[in-house]
Structure 1
Amino acid sequence: MRRGIYLIEEVDFRPMNSRKPLEYLTWLTRYKKEDERLDRPDLTKGLSIRSREIDLVGAFYAVGITGHPQFKAVTLWDCHGGWDGGWRQMMNIYDGVDDRLFLSDIDDLRFSAFSRPLGAVHGSPAVADLLAEEYAAPFYLFESAQVRPGAALDYLAAVREERAPVLAEHGHRLVGLYEVLFCDTEVVTIWGMSLDDHLATQRAHDAALGLDDEIAPDERLLDWRKRAREFLDGPWRETLLAPFPGSRLAPAGVD
């Protein structure tokens, strides 16, 4: 079993124009659906590389009210075959720096994009397996955390062993536990849940703080935040993502 290699990309759009993320996500999901019919990877003028092994498994509209700059899109890519599969194909486009690399149908649509390669760790589900069972959620929780140098794997192990069981009781399903590659100070986790489960979890947290007396508290939610500080060494943030219609992690019938 090879390590799962993924890529997450955050894209923002300026000046603020609500149509730009719609145009981008619509273009991207349709373009990648066409790739599912390809027999081999191809470097094409205006589209960069086309390959079904570089699989767009998640395309999301970031919920700005949860802490993202508006407007933002987030995409999650699965490099089928790991380092020697989709990752190799992406790297091949830089061999010789072909002039086709600098052409795109979506030039000037995005203001900026920030890509991070991710390596799955023990206990992280294979996204391909989630797709095979047709798993999808109405919302996804996206965490990015800066940890002490060298503490990424320890933090993710604690998430797997201590936090995941608690969140599972609150209706959150683990989608990914990832070490951000080519650095030793950042991790990413992704969870799927319903809106009702999201709201109930927030209220259980508030109740544990003594700020909501209408719902049962869950002190374990507070305990995790204290435990997490043993590994953190900088910003930590969770934000919500809404799967875009046509995304493979969008609920069935949303297309």
Structure 2
Amino acid sequence: MRRGIFLLEEVDFRPMNSRRPLEYLTWLTRYKREDETRETPALTSGMSIRSRDIDLAGAFYAVGITGHPQFKAVTLWECHGGWDGGWRQMMDIYRGVDDRLFLSDIDDLRFSAFSRPLGAVRGTPPLDEVTPAEFYLFESARVRPGAASDYLEAVRAERAPVLAEHGHRLAGLYEVLYCDTEAVTLWAVSLDDHLATRRARDAALGLDDEVEPDGRLLAWDGRARAFLDGPWRETLLAPFPGSRLAPRGLDGDVMDR
């Protein structure tokens, strides 16, 4: 089995305009649905690489009140076939620097975009086996150089069982590639379970006497510091209809998978 290779992209929109992320996510999910029946990859003017092997696994609106810049979109792309599949197809478009790379239907819509290649590690479930959720807990952790794999193994073995008891389903354990100082995790969760987990942590701190405390949530914070070497942040993502990780639509139909 080949290692799963993914691409994580965070997109900002400025000046602050609440319609821009909606326009972007609508455009993105629509054209990727068209790629599902494409037989061979192609470089096209205005839309860059078109391929069914470069799969929009998740398109999300970042929940700004949890720590994101306001009006931000996050996308998770799965490269089917790994390095020699979707990733190679993305790299191929840079050979010769074709002028079609510099044309886009969304020129001037985005202010900036930051992309990181991700490598799945042991314990990451196939995304097809992840039941779409109301929200996703997104963690980016800066670790000591070379400690990403050890950190993610500790998350898998020690933290995941605790969070599972609180309704968090592991969706991804990723080493950020081309660097040795960052790890990313992704968890599917309902709003009710997320809020209950926050309250259980507050109770463990002695700040909520109406719910049962779970000291293991605090213990993990101390355990994680053995691997960390900088900022650690968890934020929430709301899945946008039309991507594989989006839940059922309001009409009761399953969104395109």
Shorter-chain TM-score bucket reads over 0.9
For residue 32 of structure 1, what is the aligned residue in structure 2?
32
Gapped regions of structure 2 (runs ≥ 5): none
Extract unaligned runs of 5+ from structure 1: none
The count of aligned residue pairs is: 251
Report how far residue 128 of structure 1 moved: 3.3
Q: CA deviation at 1:129?
A: 3.5
SS in 2 for 1:35: helix
Q: Which residue of 2 aligns with 1:103?
A: 103
Q: Show the counterpart of 1:82.
A: 82
Q: In the aligned structure 1, how far is the partner of 2:44 from the partner of 2:117?
A: 23
How far, CA to CA, are the matches of 1:226 and 1:196 in structure 2? 26
1:180 maps to which of 165, 176, 182: 176
Q: CA deviation at 1:212?
A: 0.1
CA–CA separation in structure 1 for the residues paired with 2:129 and 2:134: 18
Taking structure 2 as the reference length, what is the TM-score of the superposition? Answer: 0.97
Aligned equivalents of 1:167, 1:183: Cα separation in 2:
28
Following TM superposition, by how much is the alpha carbon of 1:253 offset from its aligned partner in structure 2, in angstroms?
Answer: 2.4
- Greater than 4 Å deviation, 4+ residue runs: none
Shift of 1:127: 1.4
Q: Which residue of 2 aligns with 1:70?
A: 70
Match of 2:19 in 1: 19
User: Which of 223, 237, 247 does residue 233 from structure 2 map onto?
Assistant: 237
CA distance in 2: counterparts of 1:47 and 1:253, whole angstroms: 26
Matches within 5 A, 1:105-120: 105-120=105-120
- Alignment TM-score, normalising by the size of structure 1: 0.97
Q: CA deviation at 1:92?
A: 0.3
Secondary structure (helix, strand or coil) at the match of 2:38 reads coil
Q: Once the two structures are superposed, what CA deviation does each residue of 1:35-82 show, in whole Å capped at 9, x if it has no partner?
A: 001000010011100000000010000000000001100000000000
Report what 1:218 is aligned to: 214
Q: CA deviation at 1:246?
A: 1.2
C-alpha deviation, 1:126, in angstroms:
1.7
**Matched residue SS, 1:124:** coil
Q: 1:152 aligns with which of 148, 162, 177?
A: 148
1:127 matched residue in structure 2: 127
Structure-1 separation of matches of 2:8 and 2:169: 19
Distance 1:39 1:158 in 2: 40
Find the counterpart in structure 1 of residue 198 from structure 2: 202
CA separation in 1, counterparts of 2:128 and 2:7?
14
